[in-house]
């Protein structure tokens, strides 16, 4: 792992970092969630238009292709794409990328440690809410961290077919997860609010984690709807059966969840199960449905 530290932050950067520690993260997030649900007609359409222009949102691939097509900002932010906009790699031995965005970091888990950014590591146990048995399944495994910027498509999909076995909600901080703070806030992904989803797949166990952030007003899944709010201090857990009522089985490329405002997705795979696409280095753009990894024999 590359543990060479970044150059010392400048005074301006240090002020920026300190501001994120001092911001009322929860209040800002609650306000953002409230505003994103307002139906203000032309005002809402104007805000969507300004946002889309600023972040250069690609309207051509959206099912609804004009600001006026959306009643709320949240509807726009969780917009669906046109059929065929994200073809899913068909090969049964190939996993597909779960989200649009950019690679934050990727590679091999060093025993129980993952790379957050140069100079920053965090542990499986911290990321997985202290569940040592679950963490043990992914020691020396493979991980991929994908950052979703404000311009990106914000629905998250399955890299492979899977059966949901457990969902864990972890309350936490709401730091922004942009690349700058990932470089400067230790343990960022393991201290932020997050939703941990454990799947059984033909590649072995897979964890897909949706990480919350400042103004990420909520995280939802296709089987449970909006998980937060409510936000609780206690860790919440749900177990799911293999069959019958309550079973959740999703196909490769099928939607599994969404962010109301942007954040990060982390995928974990056991040792010896997959080989990541070599192009997936830090900073590389990702598009849902393209090649993420190959099955190892």
Which residues belong to the active site?
100, 157, 263
Rounded Cα–Cα distance for residues 250 and 272 (Å): 23
Rounded Cα–Cα distance for residues 209 and 7 (Å): 30
DSSP 100-128: SEEEEEEEE-BTTEEEEETTEEEEHHHHT
- Are the C-beta atoms of residues 214 and 193 closer than 8 Å to each other? no
Rounded Cα–Cα distance for residues 223 and 14 (Å): 41
Rounded Cα–Cα distance for residues 100 and 294 (Å): 19
Rounded Cα–Cα distance for residues 260 and 228 (Å): 10
Tokens (6 digits) for 112: 């129980």
């Amino acid at each position: 792992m590359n543990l060479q530290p970044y150059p010392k932050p400048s005074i301006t950067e240090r002020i920026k970092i300190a501001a994120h520690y001092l911001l009322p993260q929860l209040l800002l997030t609650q306000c953002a969630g409230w505003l994103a649900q307002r139906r203000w007609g032309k005002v809402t359409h104007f805000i969507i238009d300004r946002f889309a222009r600023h972040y250069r949102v690609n309207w051509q691939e959206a099912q609804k292709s004009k600001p006026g097509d959306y009643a709320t900002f949240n509807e726009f932010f969780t917009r669906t794409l046109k059929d065929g906009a994200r073809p899913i790699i068909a090969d049964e031995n190939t996993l597909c990328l779960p989200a649009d965005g950019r690679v934050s970091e990727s590679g091999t888990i060093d025993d129980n440690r993952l790379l957050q950014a140069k100079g920053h590591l965090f542990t499986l146990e911290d990321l997985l809410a202290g569940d040592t048995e679950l963490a043990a399944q992914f020691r020396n495994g493979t991980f991929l961290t994908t950052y979703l910027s404000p311009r990106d498509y914000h629905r998250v999909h399955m890299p492979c077919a899977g059966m949901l076995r457990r969902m864990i909600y972890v309350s936490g901080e709401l730091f922004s997860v942009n690349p700058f703070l990932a470089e400067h806030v230790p343990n960022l992904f393991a201290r932020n609010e997050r939703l941990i989803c454990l799947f059984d797949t033909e590649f072995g166990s897979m964890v897909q984690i949706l990480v919350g952030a400042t103004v990420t007003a909520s995280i939802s899944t296709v089987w449970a709807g909006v998980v937060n709010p409510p936000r609780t201090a206690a860790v919440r857990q749900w177990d799911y059966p293999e069959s019958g009522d309550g079973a959740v089985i999703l196909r490769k490329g099928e939607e599994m969840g969404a962010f109301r405002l942007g954040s990060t997705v982390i995928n974990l795979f056991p040792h010896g199960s997959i080989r990541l696409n070599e192009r997936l280095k830090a900073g590389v753009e990702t598009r849902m449905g393209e090649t993420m990894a190959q099955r190892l024999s």
